[in-house]
Structure 1
């Protein structure tokens, strides 16, 4: 059945407007391949209009008391809860992930809104009295001005909510450039924010691709840019944005190891490993994409994971029970297939082959396992971003950690063991910013930073948590003394009997 096409528009200065770009990018339902919308590819002129609108709104919004700003966020949180299922289904429609993963994404986004509702406490400065005789030292947090976020296709609800509530709660005005592949959820998020009472111009949307991104990075009126996406683009955003004087946080790619020790509780670990590797079709930067089997764990865990993966139900995210959902585009499916072909040519064993499309319609790719991977293979080091699990076999925990540390990425690493000493050795030596102990997707809560390192992150201050607040604020440090003497008690006017 043909779906009704949805309209995608820019939102600038409180109005839904058409972009100046003449070209559009199709938005697909990945489960069917059907075009459900067209994203306008906006120009630098569109970016400039959004910056002017945000700049005009900044003066009033930044002076609005923080306790009033968060009333909008409290109402927004309520509206997000009321429209939870609608948002979940929008994520499934344009991204393809199943209802469970989509609902989890919406929930994690709402948690950041809850965190941002605590902005009065998060914006508190620091003070020390009498740093010298009669002199006090204090610090204050101020909003930056107009800020922007460039967000990816794989989490169209959660990742805009990583920055939008924090940025505006801190007093900034904000421009969102969602992925041109998944603009519908972002549009609905902003509609609900306006319904919550946000003033005109505080939040704006500019849809588009390269021209819009470079327009944001080059515009002198934008003070800070947050980005989430692939490593090459993240590096471009960081370098280009910094060259134009901007504060930049750029969250990049990953190649996350899941280390399985011989004492791992496999009956509980394997479902977790399968979920990490194949959930959201492997299209997430916290996916466990490399299984590092230590010693005698090797054959047992590989066989168990293969057996579980073979039983996964492949299907559209909106069908109950679907476990392996489609990739975002046919072109991306071709890219994932090319990597499996490459791994086979490099000498890997294709223990489970998903290259033949498991369903006729849509952009599906079957669960795949590449066994006997060695550290010099490209499939061991490069991000595939699909339902492909690479298996490396080593003899010791040290070898497992050394293999993991050989990656240029440092987003996440998980270990499956009941041995506390092994956990401590791994924690102290592994080079990854987010760690999971018997947890395959080591996603921090909203009040902690999303803490990738190495080539998984460019910048100094991470997204979410207190890092996110610091990223969207400027610290001013004041040192003060007063040179006059206080009035004597006799000179002070006493209050009247009617006064307090």
Structure 2
């Protein structure tokens, strides 16, 4: 039987070519194809970008007051329909409903931040910098901005970029992951309902062909990307070679350093939550727990006790952890489990042996715990992107920090301690972009910016916050002299927008 097909979203409506290439979108809890998605050819991308380029000038000329009205309306619509967006995420990604709704709410925070765009775009002014000469600064939109988002956060990551880009006066082409694309279309529909003019936000679905078409298109001014490090590097190098502004957020290997004075119950809770939430498919997941001896044995016992109570299954059934996103990805993660065991790590809990609350054909892997992991093992070196937590034992704080700083990734890290001095040292000494102190997943709130260091970021601009506003605008400085006064006549009415 033919599956329903998700089309592109262009000019405020669904559109697909007469005979599109299509990809399968699975329900990970059943392993069945839920729908198909149109995969754009280069010509389809041309049509989408042309629509955005046509809409961009009028939107850039729209007053800040009117743009803000659209943003506030979008915020209200998304808040009202958050559960509907979350259900789409659970059905295609697999994460449990509570986690999916939390993702939407965190994305909503960025939309709320963007509602303050009139303040955020204010320039500076120096009167009489020279005799009768004034100097002032402006920030103006780029034009057409591409956003290429990953499968693990099909709503939150687009919402990191799209509201700010639109608020700044740009048109946006969003290319979501083809693994779970439906949330992007619903969010685009909400923008249309909020009064966003046609073409200011378009959604194009696709695979590498669509990505390459965006990276090489001369009318695309900027690219925002989140994904694995090899692809982030490719996106950065290709887009910058074509003269585009790029923020490309890559992969991670996040460490959680536990000192002997830490509250081990708090640390165990945090390790389980941050290691296995969303089945470990988070760029901010804790995958390496660095235990400063002599706490490892006690901490592992507490973690194992908590893992025993976790339910893995269909995310709509009130379980704690859902399936992995595809069968191929599940097989990749289970191969790492086998490799870790073969390399000599102590497999404390084997998620392959779990029982699952769902269809036998779902893409299941339960929470997995390794002990006595060493830095040369693949389960330590590589970003696994699954529910696999590795414990590395070290003898001291200094050894733990050295291990973290030697890692090529620098996305997020955390320290668990009751020693304020140690925490302060750690926040200054860790060569990582986002630091948690007794907080296992230190994702910044919307008015700060998200992003890592080293191989976790290509480009020098982080997502959302004031760095996001600067990324989606260009600065201009005006030097002005007016020799004669003038006025616009008499009008006693209250100014309108």
- TM-score tier (shorter): over 0.9
Q: 2:440 is matched with which residue?
A: 440
Q: 2:352 maps to what in 1? A: 355
1:200-255 per-position Cα deviation (integer Å, ceiling 9, x unaligned): 11110110000000000000000001001111110100000111111111011000
Is the contact made by 1:10 and 1:19 (CA closer than 8 Å) also made in structure 2?
A: no
Distance 1:457 1:498, change over 3 A: closer
1:498 CA drift (Å): 9.1
Q: For the Cα contact (< 8 Å) 1:310–1:367, is it kept in 2?
A: no
State the shift of 1:257 in Å. Answer: 0.2
The Cα offsets for residues 60-80 of structure 1, whole Å up to 9 and x where unpaired, read as: 111000110111111111111
Given the superposition, is the C-alpha separation of residues 461 and 441 from structure 1 closer, same or farther in structure 2, using an over 3 Å criterion?
same
Distance 1:13 1:31 in 2: 34
* Counterpart contact for 1:20–1:43, Cα < 8 Å: no
SS in 1 for 2:439: coil
Structure 1 residue 462: Cα displacement: 1.1
Cα distance in 2 between the residues matched to 1:136 and 1:311: 67
Query: Superposition RMSD on alpha carbons, in Å?
Result: 2.0
Matches within 5 A, 1:101-250: 101-250=99-248
| Aligned 8 A contact 2:249 2:451 in 1 | no
SS of equivalent to 1:253? coil
Pair 1:91 & 2:126 matched: no
Distance 1:7 1:145 in 2: 30
Q: Does 1:286 align with 2:312?
A: no
Tell me the distance in 2 between the aligned counterparts of 1:128 and 1:402.
48
8 Å CA contact retained: 1:19, 1:43:
no
Tell me the CA shift for residue 6 of structure 1: 4.4
Alignment correspondent of 1:403: 403
CA contact (8 A) 1:127 1:136 kept: yes
* C-alpha distance in 1 between matches for 2:19 and 2:67: 34
C-alpha distance in structure 2 between counterparts of 1:402 and 1:329, whole Å: 36
Q: 1:478 to 1:497 in 2, by over 3 A?
A: closer
Q: Secondary structure at 1:307's aligned position in 2?
A: helix
Note closer, same or farther for the CA distance 1:249–1:497 as it changes in structure 2 (3 Å cut): closer
Q: Secondary structure at the match of 1:414?
A: strand
The equivalent of 1:428 in structure 2 is 428
Match of residue 453 from structure 1: 453
Mapped partners of 1:78, 1:393: distance in 2:
48
Partner residue in 1 for 2:391: 391
The match for 1:342 among 339, 342, 360 is 339
**Superposition pairs of residues 8-87 of structure 1, within 5 angstroms:** 8-19=6-17, 22-87=20-85
Pairwise CA distance, 1:21: 6.6
Runs of 4+ in 1 over 4 A off after TM superposition: 495-500
**Unaligned 5+ runs, structure 2:** none
Quick one: distance in 2 between partners of 1:459 and 1:334? 32
Deviation per CA, 1:100-148: give whole Å up to 9, x if none: 2111101001111101110101111122334344433211000000111
What TM-score do you get using the length of structure 1 for normalisation?
Answer: 0.94
- SS of the residue corresponding to residue 415 of structure 2 reads strand
Q: Give structure 1 stretches of 5+ with no counterpart.
A: none
Q: Is the 8 A contact 1:21 1:43 kept in 2?
A: no
SS in 2 for 1:415: strand
Q: Contact conserved, 2:436 with 2:442, CA < 8 A, in 1?
A: yes
1:8–1:38: 8 Å Cα contact kept in structure 2?
yes
Between the aligned partners of 2:362 and 2:57, the Cα distance in structure 1 is 48
How many residues matched? 490
Residue 253 of structure 2 is matched in structure 1 by 255
1:223/1:363 CA distance change after superposition, 3 Å: same
Given that 2:12 and 2:189 are in contact with CA atoms closer than 8 Å, whether structure 1 keeps it comes out as no
Is contact 1:143-1:170 (8 Å) kept? Answer: yes
The question of whether the paired residues in 2 share the 8 Å contact of 1:32 and 1:363 is answered with yes
Residues 449, 464 of structure 1: 8 Å contact kept: yes
Once residues 222 and 213 of structure 1 are traced to their aligned partners in structure 2, the CA distance between those partners, rounded to angstroms, is 12
SS at match of 2:283: coil
Q: TM-score, normalised by structure 2?
A: 0.95
In structure 1, distance between residues paired with 2:179 and 2:461? 27
Classify the secondary structure of the residue corresponding to 2:34: strand
Return the alpha-carbon distance in structure 2 between the equivalents of residues 31 and 499 of structure 1: 61
